[in-house]
Amino acid sequence: VSTQSTGTLIESIYKADKIGEKRSRQPLPYLDAVYFLRPTRENLEVIMGDFGSSKDTYKNRLYKAGHIFFTETISDEALTQLAKSDAALFIKTVQEVNVAFLPVEERVFSLENKASYADYFSDRVGGEKKEEKLDQIAEQLVTVCAALCDTPCPKVRYCSTSVRSVKQLAEKVQKKLDKYNSNGVITGSNNRSTLIILDRGFDPVTPFLHDLYFQAMAYDLLSKASAGPKIDPESNILKYDHEVILEPENELWRELRHLHIGQALPVVTDKAKRLFERFNSIKNKGAGDKTHMTDMKSMLNQMPNYKREEQNCTAF
């Protein structure tokens, strides 16, 4: 269960493998397989190969059956190819889930296209390849719109002074959005949103500036630190006497990450002060001669939360 480039997305299953590593995948002919991938020619060939050829279909299968979930729309030609293959005997589910992007945060997503700059701006990239890449990006952007269920088909806008690729991309996105909308994939209220497509030339200065917001400074300064607190950017864990997970589940991190450093520090100081006062209150209750069992139970229940908040404040 994997995408082409981002690794495993689904956990807590019996076994998870990358689609391109057939030799290292253990045959499990008694279990169904769930495929979560892009509908590319290479991926379809791997799926069909997993269930053998017509001569040895039942002998060399890797899995008992297959459930395929495509991250974007599969073409009619590709679907026909899959339907006519021997693997079709064992495919129980084929579905498009429209999630050809990676949600990084609540309001940030990535298309995982690291070669986009070279693909769109280099003269060495041929027109046919560039068209193919633009088409892929357009399809991914459309799945973002489809995933936002509370918005109807958005209006597409682009900067008229941008490079030609931006206009081509905007036209492709609009065309695909119209198709999705006609099929009822994107629905919502009458208040249409707007999708604005810009290239880096619209704002070339920002990448050269040092961001002074809490999250950016934490990763910039602590991911390369040789001593003291250090952030592992792969696991999003801050290591300092103890480990602090920098994920939305961490309430203090969620509150601080988008604040300017000048705003974040007073928040941490205030929280640490209130935490200390709360701890003294709990301790004073426990020191009394007439402490009731209900009070003691309440104190014990609050201790894990206090310990977690103390670790967060100490780390930040």
Q: Lowest mean pLDDT: which of 214-223, 272-281, 285-294?
A: 285-294
The rounded mean pLDDT for the chain is 76
pLDDT for the residue 4: 42
Phi-psi region of 105 (alpha: psi -120 to 50; beta: other; left: phi over 0): beta
Length of the chain: 316
Is the predicted pLDDT of residue 69 greater than 90, yes or no?
yes
pTM for the structure as a whole:
0.70
Specify the higher pLDDT residue, 178 or 149.
178
Angle between helix axes 261-287 and 214-222 (nearest 10 degrees) is: 90
Is the predicted pLDDT of residue 179 greater than 70, yes or no?
yes
Task: Please work out, in degrees rounded to the nearest 5, the angle formed at the alpha carbon of residue 23 by the alpha carbons of 20 and 24.
Answer: 85
pLDDT for the residue 255: 85
Q: What is the pLDDT of residues 235-261, one digit of tens each?
A: 677 676 667 777 777 788 888 888 888
pLDDT for the residue 208: 85
pLDDT for the residue 150: 54
Query: Cα–Cα distance between 43 and 74 in angstroms, integer?
Result: 12
Q: What is the pLDDT of residues 38-51, one digit of tens each?
A: 898 889 998 988 88
Specify the higher pLDDT residue, 60 or 316.
60
- Can you read off the two tokens belonging to residue 111? 């298309």
Neighbour-count burial for 258-296, b at 16+ CB within 10 Å, e otherwise: ebeeeebeeebeebbeebeeebeebeeeeeeeeeeeeee
Task: Please work out, in degrees rounded to the nearest 5, the angle formed at the alpha carbon of residue 201 by the alpha carbons of 200 and 206.
Answer: 65
